[in-house]
Structure 1
Amino acid sequence: MSASLYHVDYNDLRALLRKVRVQAGLTQVQMAEALSVGQSYVSKLERGENFVDVLLYARWCQACGTKPGAVLDELFDRDRESRN
């Protein structure tokens, strides 16, 4: 897999993270507070201007009340479906 910010897997992961955040009822500001980062960092991550760090990813999922594995399962299930 390419390490590009714009790889389709990163795009899909960012879309899922945004979906999880919105479903949890969190704004970008609230997510930023939960992660101890600035709101612009959350925005840039969701728009693809920042890589998704694995520890930040785990904390993101935790803030949304979901398991990191559940989000990855959804990502990989989508990937598997698109290949069929």
Structure 2
Amino acid sequence: MGASTHSDEYQEFLKRLRAARLESGLTQLEVANRLGEPQSYVSKCESGERRVDIVELSKFAEIYERPVSYFLGKEN
């Protein structure tokens, strides 16, 4: 079994993922286009329907100009 996407830590990660996009002024479609994915991919990542792996996270971090640690709540 994979790790749950419903843990408190993962829910906090999802909030940060969405917040970073909004703070960057980007729509899900704009992010999807940069990733070469459909808009539904970004939506599923943000909702927790699709689990984000570390390689994908590094791509989101680059687009949002944030360190990976930001998404993990490790940034001071």
Name the SS for the 1:16 alignment partner: helix
Partner amino acid for 1:32?
A
Larger Rg: 1
Once the two structures are TM-superposed, the CA of residue 4 in structure 1 deviates from its matched residue by: 0.6
Identical-pair percentage: 32
CA RMSD between the two structures: 1.6
Once the two structures are TM-superposed, the CA of residue 9 in structure 1 deviates from its matched residue by: 1.1
**Number of the residue aligned with 1:69:** 69
Name the SS for the 1:4 alignment partner: coil
For residues 7 and 24 of structure 1, the distance between their equivalents in structure 2, rounded to whole angstroms, comes to 26
Gaps of at least 5 residues in structure 1 are 78-84
The answer as to whether partners of 1:61 and 1:68 remain within 8 angstroms in 2 is yes
Deviant stretches of 4+, over 3 Å: none
**Number of the residue aligned with 1:33:** 33
Gaps of at least 5 residues in structure 2 are none
Partner amino acid for 1:52?
V
After TM superposition, the structure 1 = structure 2 runs for residues 17-28 of structure 1, keeping only pairs within 5 Å, are: 17-28=17-28
Aligned residues: 74
The answer as to whether partners of 1:35 and 1:56 remain within 8 angstroms in 2 is no
